[in-house]
Structure 1
C-alpha cells in the first residue's frame, strides 16, 4: 500500500469531490476523479452512459479507469459513490492507497444532491431511497 496515495470513498453527496479538491491542494498532489475521467475518455456524461450501457456497463468502465489511473504514486482519488461495490475496486484500493471513508447523513446527502441532474441513480420518484 502506498500511503502517499489517498482514496476517498463514500456515498453520493458525502463530499468526495469537494474534499478531494481541498486535500489535493493542501498536499500539493494531483486530484484524480474517476467519474470525470470516464466522461473525458468517452465524451459522454455519466447519465448518458447509464442510459446506453446500464449500471453494469458503467461499472465495468469504472473498474478499468480506476485500475489505470491509480498505477502511479502521489495522488488523491475521488471515486464515484458506487465504486466500492465492485470487488476489483476494493482490491485495488487496498493495494494502492490509504482509503478514507466519508460519511454524511441521509439529510446531508439529499440536501447536497437535490439539484444535481447528473446522478442517474437519483432520477427516481424518491431519490432518498437510493441515498
Structure 2
C-alpha cells in the first residue's frame, strides 16, 4: 500500500513539474518577435536610410552594415490655447515618431541617423545625424 501511495505521489509530482515547466504558448528562447519587428522596421526605413547616406557621403551606392534600431520615441505636437495645452490634429492626431538607427560604414565609422514622420504623409525623413 505504501509503495502504491509513494508511486502515485511521485507520478503526480512529476506531472506537476512538467506542466509548470512548459506553457501552451511557449516560443523559442530569446526574443525573436522583437528581432522580427526590428528587421521589419529597418526594411521599411531602408529607402530613407540609403538616400540619407547618399546625401551625407555623396555616394551613389552607399555601403553600410550592422544596422540596428537604437531608440523609438513617440512624440506629441501641442499648441497653447489660453494657458492650456491641447493636441494639434493637423499631423495625424498630433502623434509622430522619432526613430534613431545606428549603422557602420566599411571605413569603420559609426553613424546614428534620427528619422521623424511628423509630415502630413507620415513619411520618414532625416532629422539629424552623428558620425563617430
Q: Which has the larger radius of gyration?
A: 2
Q: Which has the higher contact order (CA 8 A, sep 6+)?
A: 1
Question: Where is the strand percentage greater, Structure 1 or Structure 2?
Answer: 2
User: TM-score scaled to structure 1, two decimals?
Assistant: 0.24
User: TM-score scaled to structure 2, two decimals?
Assistant: 0.24
Question: Where is the helix percentage greater, Structure 1 or Structure 2?
Answer: 1
